[in-house]
Structure 1
């Protein structure tokens, strides 16, 4: 499936839950960020994720802080990456596959909070 077919499937509801794992999240982020300015890409990602979680009956699964933090990290890394292959990008940035990536930016209790799910929360580690 091409990148645009993948995004169409995500946005139209044709993508199955088992097809949307963590690597697929990174793929979607890469696609949106390559085709839109950062803020537009972040809104597109939020809209796609919220619609996806609603479709699968898990409205409360969407997490604003995780989404925006991950989009920021991916955008930063894409700036320095040569090429358009999201799989090569992921291989060049293996820490993006680690679910603990944001632990160096946030305390677990902050990420687990309802506030962080609803809006972007910034946190300085060590405080």
Structure 2
């Protein structure tokens, strides 16, 4: 699937749950940041992801803190090579594809709170793992 087709499928909830793995989350964020810049991409991404979790029948899987933190991490990595394409990004930033990438910012207990799921919480330096 081309980037354009993938992004359209993401934005219109035309992806299967099986195809929407962690790498697909990262790809959608990468493409939206390139298209809109971080601020606008964040709004588009959160809206589309909420719609997708609703479509899959698992709205409780949406996690505001994880979503925003990962997009910020993707954006930071893009800033190192703003003209790069998806393939180059994957090769240059394998750490973004780890589900543990946020472990340097948040403890599992912090991310497990209802507050973190419902609203973005900032990392607390004194409470990091």
- Give the TM bin, normalised by the shorter chain: over 0.9
Return the TM-score normalized by structure 2.
0.92
1:115 and 1:96 map into 2 onto residues whose CA distance is: 24
CA offsets, 1:91-123, max 9 Å, x none? 211111111110100011111111011111012
Which position in structure 1 is the counterpart of 2:125? 125
Can you give the 5+ residue segments of structure 2 that lack an aligned partner in the other structure? none
Residues 71-97 of structure 1: per-residue CA shift (max 9 Å, x gap): 111111101125442132122111111
Q: How does 1:19-98 map to 2 (within 5 A)?
A: 19-81=19-81, 83-98=83-98
Structure 1 contact 104–125 (Cα < 8 Å) conserved:
no
Contact 2:13–2:48 (CA under 8 A) maintained in structure 1? no
Matched positions, count: 127
1:10 is matched with which residue? 10
Once residues 97 and 6 of structure 2 are traced to their aligned partners in structure 1, the CA distance between those partners, rounded to angstroms, is 19
The two structures have a TM-score, normalised by structure 1, of 0.93
- State the Cα RMSD in Å: 1.3
